[in-house]
Amino acid sequence: MNINTVSTQPIDGQKPGTSGLRKKTRIFMEPGYLENFVQSIFNAIGGAEGKTFVVGGDGRFFNAQAIQIIIKMAAANGAKRLILGQGGLLSTPAASHLIRLNKTDGGLILSASHNPGGIDEDFGLKFNVPNGGPAPESITDAIFQQTKELTSYKVADADDLDLDALGQQSAGDMTVEIVDSVADYRKLMKSLFNFDAIRQLFESGFRIRFDAMHAVTGPYAHAILEKDLGAPDGSVMNGVPSENFGGGHPDPNPVWAHELMDIMMGDDAPDFGAASDGDGDRNMIVGRGTYVTPSDSLAVLTANAFLAPGYAKGLAGVARSMPTSAASDRVAEKLEIECFETPTGWKFFGNLLDAGRATLCGEESAGTGSNHVREKDGLWAVLLWLNILAVRRESVAEILAHHWSIYGRDYYSRHDFENIPTEQANTLMTGLRDALPDLPGQTFGSETVASCDEFSYSDPVDGSVSHNQGIRVYFESGGRAVFRLSGTGTQGATLRLYLEQFEPADGDHLKDPQEALVGVQQAALVICDLQNLTGRSEPDVKT
């Protein structure tokens, strides 16, 4: 096997975001673009010599070709072994599990998560560290620095491997082991949940509809929900992964999973509905006629996790991203466990999980997980909900109503303003930042500002500090507005406006969320001067 050292030069814009590097697919396909970033990863972690990595992705366009390049580069850089999912497919939580199970030196995960796929859509690559979680900022900063200094990359002159053939193959001196993408993850789920109880639930006539959104969780859902648990054939919809996710947008929310929502809000709706995203780490939960916000889902799972065998001994703590509602905080207080508020990005949960201070974690953007892996896990959340439903024998709506009667309800919504010119978005955030000292005490419509700040996070485990993680405005009514620019897009900027209004346990829990939030919404739009700065007043996506 010949090893070629190819001269190159730095490529602008290869800075990893909250979950790796994401760009348009055609950009990743440009000569040297992927190669530069992969070499920068290897350089940033002290080289690949003698190391073992997990490699897999969500099957989007360019997934297989990119994996062939990574194989040749890993071999040229002296890696000892790669573990690949069959066909190049691995859900992100399954990849995290394989990293931990095999005690590898990390993993390269090819995904742009919930972003659309195809030659004219999005592609992504991120490095996960040996604990199975996304690389922390210290490593992503080192990767970015390497992208700015790179002068060459190494790639082997070798034939492509057969990614569909289970077993071992070789690329020079490097061993490539292709494994069943589902098998080890399946075993892990069986160790956490009461499959017998869930199976009995389905035997009683309970109906489910799981929308895999033409993405990577299709094979996992078919194997676990239909084969292991006995859900009727056809319970999994859109279950065959495709390179462009069936032409859809694989984001599990009421807007993009509208096919599932129409079913669940219909006259003959199943008892339970769920969806997962492109790489399998996000989830949406729906009962018959009842949408469950990710914030409420985290709170309900925290309150009821003890019903599943894997969590029967109780939780050490719960962690949530800052934009996520405070619903889980009140559960943690009642359970007398620790509660943490972190920046957006699953990597911020890693230290808490490794230190044993948190057991469950969640983000408002439909990500929920636990200490079983170091990624959010869509199918895991579905199984925990099913375990709870199997034990309590109540509907989703009944479980929510009971929960709110104890803890109160956080009316919650996220409004996304997409593809704002970057300069306009930065001007808006700078204006907000400058206005913070003068906002308390001011009244905007029906809302008076109680306090406000720009969120910074001090990691209680390693002491690291992350600044500028979003602007928070609290109102005297118990409402809150959060302003944040998203780090997951590939063009322009997305302003995420998070709206929250608390209703006490003895209050009205049956309002339409958008109506309950109208006062906070109107105040937030005036405070950030969105209309004047961008010409926009209505979000592109409202969830």
For the annotated catalytic residues, the residue numbers are 113
Dist. CA 411–CA 60, nearest whole Å: 35
Extract the tokens encoding 16: 């990893």
DSSP tag of 223: I
DSSP codes joined into one string, 479-541: EEEEEEE-SS-SSSEEEEEEEEEEE-TTS---S-HHHHTHHHHHHHHHHHTHHHHHS--S-SE
Cβ-based neighbour number of residue 539 at 10 Å: 19
Dist. CA 232–CA 46, nearest whole Å: 50
Cα–Cα nearest to 372, from 110, 132, 134: 132
Dist. CA 131–CA 112, nearest whole Å: 21
Dist. CA 69–CA 82, nearest whole Å: 13
Dist. CA 284–CA 368, nearest whole Å: 10
β-pairing verdict for 21-24 and 367-370? unpaired
Dist. CA 117–CA 456, nearest whole Å: 33
Dist. CA 493–CA 511, nearest whole Å: 32
Q: What stretch of H or E contains 168?
A: strand 167-171
Extract the tokens encoding 37: 């970033």
User: What are the Cα distances from residue 454, in Å, to 27, 115, 433, 472, 475?
Assistant: 34, 28, 7, 6, 15
Q: Give the distance from CA 308 to its chain's centroid.
A: 23
Q: What is the CA radius of gyration of the chain?
A: 23
The dihedrals phi and psi of 60, each to the nearest 5 degrees, come to -65, 170
Contact present, 154 and 1 (Cβ < 8 Å): no
Extract the tokens encoding 45: 């972690």
> What angle is formed at CA 301 by the lines to CA 295 and CA 304, rounded to 5 degrees?
145
> What angle is formed at CA 336 by the lines to CA 331 and CA 337, rounded to 5 degrees?
80
DSSP codes joined into one string, 178-214: EE-TTHHHHHHHHHHS-HHHHHHHHHTT--EEEE-TT
Q: What are the residues whose beta carbons fall under 8 Å from the beta carbon of 8, sequence distance 6 or more?
A: 32, 35, 36, 150, 151, 152, 153
Beta bridge partners of 240: none
